[in-house]
Amino acid sequence: MSGFIIKAQTQGGAYVTKPLRESYEELVADLADSFNLIPASVTLFSKHNGTQLWVHMGSKGDLDVVLAEAAEYGSHVVNIEVSGVSAVRGLDAAGCLAATAATVSQLTYLWWLMSVASVSLYREVEVASVLILACSIHLGSLIFVLDDETANNHPFRQWVRPLLKRSLLLLLGPFSSDVLPLASCGLWGCDAPLRFKTREAIVGGGLWTMVLQDGVMLSVLFALHLSPDESNQLPLAPIPMACLYATLASLALNAPRRLAHYLVSSCEAAYRQREELAEEAQIGVFASNKMAAREKLDTPQSRPVLGTCAMPPSSIGGESPAVPQALSTAPSKAAVAGGGAKRAAPSAAKLKPQAGGNKSMM
């Protein structure tokens, strides 16, 4: 702790007072947790003691300046205004509840077709097959994501450890694919630490299941109850009417949200793929340049051979190298003779007796 007290407030009027940490990242995390904000979206403003103006504080250096100014004025309280994006996702909760209501109404409508209404066997099999397939996809995707998050997300493993939470998730699993986004929406104590990429994959991937389930059910409702052909039209009883309204509400609420998540995820995946291709191309160019430089260093022209003289530049063009004159011309006979005489003279001098030597012997 730094010894200072922060008084943080939001534009909505909420405020909190707590000790100030020395690290700016810890301060952002504490305030995001206190006001239930997304940490990456938190923006801080500090109140200047002299001018009473709000000054942006976005780094560790700004925090140090604010603390130094507070110490200069003899104050131990730092006023901070916090703004950011709320971590509460009410749309996820509303989408999950709407999808669950639509699935329950569609199952009730199937029961109505099989027990009350007189329709062909083809329609009954069609509706039953679509609902069984959709519920199986919902439950299977939930089990797969639960297993993945439990294995790779330790905070989520701790959160889902009680058997009651896991049982509630599996109980709601067949009715909607947004069970886990509902568990992490932040409402009604649903604070599951779900990873961001997992939530994006769940919301965007449920687009095709929603199109299959709701699209087929709307087509069946239109063909049986709203068709212009009055001979085959069934009365719009309360159960078919409830199914129609619940399906339309779920489609109107979830279709834009799922489509937006799907498009954003597709664009991000394409951008990441282009980045990987660019990095691979850059690595390939660097490797080829390095190999070319190494081959240039290994050529015979750039590496002299031990025991031989370096080749002149004129030999590269195909001309014969110039041989030094001392090596190409043979020695003349006079030079050989002169050299022999010079070499023979010392031996003759050795054989000739010296006069001084005879006198000394006498």
CA pair distance 138, 102, nearest whole angstrom: 14
Distance CA 99, CA 172 (A): 11
What is the arithmetic mean of pLDDT over 133-147? 93
CA distance 64 to 27: 13
Facing residues of 81 across strands?
A: 9, 45
User: Phi, psi at residue 243, to the nearest 5°?
Assistant: -65, -40
* Structure confidence at residue 21 (pLDDT): 74
Angle at 38 between CA 60 and CA 43, to 5 degrees: 40
Predicted confidence at residue 286, as pLDDT, reads: 73
| pLDDT in the model for residue 138 | 93
With beta carbons less than 8 A apart as the criterion, state whether 41 and 85 touch.
yes
123-144: string of b/e by CB count within 10 Å (b at 16+)? eeebbeebbeebbebbbebbee
Sequential DSSP letters for 150-183: HHH-HHHHHHT-SHHHHHHHHHHGGG-S-HHHHH
Question: Strand pairing partners for 326?
Answer: none
Mean pLDDT across the stretch 150-172?
A: 89
pLDDT at residue 329 in the model: 45
Instruction: For residue range 71-98, list pLDDT tens digits in order.
Output: 888 778 888 888 888 878 888 899 999 9
- Residue 109: what pLDDT? 93
Identify the CATH assignment for 5-83 out of 3.40.50.10610, 3.10.20.90, 3.40.50.2020, 3.20.20.140.
Answer: 3.10.20.90
Compute the distance between CA of residue 142 and CA of residue 137 in angstroms, rounded to an integer: 8
pLDDT-derived band at 107 (thresholds 50, 70, 90) equals very high
Helix (H, G, I), strand (E, B) or coil at 5: strand
The model's pLDDT over 305-361, given as tens digits with 9 standing for 90+, comes to 555 544 555 444 444 444 444 444 445 444 444 444 444 444 444 444 444 444 433
pLDDT band, very low/low/confident/very high, at 298 (cuts 50, 70, 90): low
Which residues fall within 8 angstroms of residue 86, CB to CB, at 6 or more apart?
36, 37, 38, 186
Residue ranges matching CATH 3.10.20.90 in the chain: 5-83
On average, the pLDDT of the chain sits at 78
Summarize pLDDT for 44-68 with one digit per residue, the tens: 898 887 778 888 888 888 888 888 8
Q: What would the pLDDT profile of 231-280 be if each residue is shown by its tens digit?
A: 567 878 899 999 999 999 999 999 998 998 888 877 776 666 676 677 77
- pLDDT tens readout for residues 163-215: 888 899 999 999 999 999 999 888 887 888 888 888 888 988 888 899 999 99
Per DSSP, 329 falls in state S
